[in-house]
Amino acid sequence: MTTLKAKLQEDLTTAIRARDELASSTLRLTLSAITKEEVAGKEARVLSDEEVLKVIAKEAKKRREAAEAFAQGGRDEQAARETAEGEFLDAYLPKQLSDDELAAIVAQAVEEAKAAGAEGPRAMGAVMKIVNPKVAGLAEGGRVAAAVKQQLS
């Protein structure tokens, strides 16, 4: 049974041998973030594949945000680098839900919340509690919240 962390380490070795600087530096940073997460807290632990996916998603989001900031600052070369790193990390993440798929899941959750008696903008929390477990890892929180707001208004 190969874990996701082991796959990342194998890919790092392959990238180093192929002298792929982008892949090796991105994987090194990601593996260090995973290790940091493993030793955080009172006791060291080994992350599950699901937890490793969360760390990878967080790292990919950091890259997208940094690329945006560099682009706004006129530093196109760094923005391109951050974008490339983010796209590289996206390959390890599960395929994201399309807007239509997300809207369908949110619509179903809104109906469930209405059946439970929550309506209007105040139902946001109730709907998010229903939606989040269904879309965990498949859609970013900002996208989910925007879809919920749109359906509730």
In the chain, domain spans: 3-91, 99-152
Tokens of 106: 């949110």
Whole-number pLDDT of residue 2: 53
- pLDDT tens for each residue of the chain, 153 residues long: 358 888 889 999 999 999 999 999 999 999 999 999 888 888 888 888 888 888 888 888 899 899 999 999 889 999 999 999 988 888 888 787 777 787 888 888 877 777 777 676 677 777 777 887 787 767 777 787 888 787 777
Residue 3: C-alpha distances to residues 30, 38, 44, 48 (Å): 15, 15, 18, 8
What's the rounded Cα separation, in Å, for the pair 5 and 35? 10
3-91 with 99-152: one CATH topology? no
Q: What are phi and psi of 144, to 5 degrees?
A: -65, -50
**Fold type of domain 3-91:** Hypothetical Protein Yqey; Chain: A; domain1 (1.10.1510)
Which position has the token pair 């196109």?
Answer: 76
Counting every residue written for the chain, the total comes to 153
Whole-number pLDDT of residue 4: 84
C-beta atoms surrounding 38 within 10 Å: 16
Whole-number pLDDT of residue 19: 94
Whole-number pLDDT of residue 1: 37
Domain 99-152 grouped into CATH 1.10.10.410: yes
Whole-number pLDDT of residue 112: 77
Tokens of 38: 């493993």
pTM: 0.72
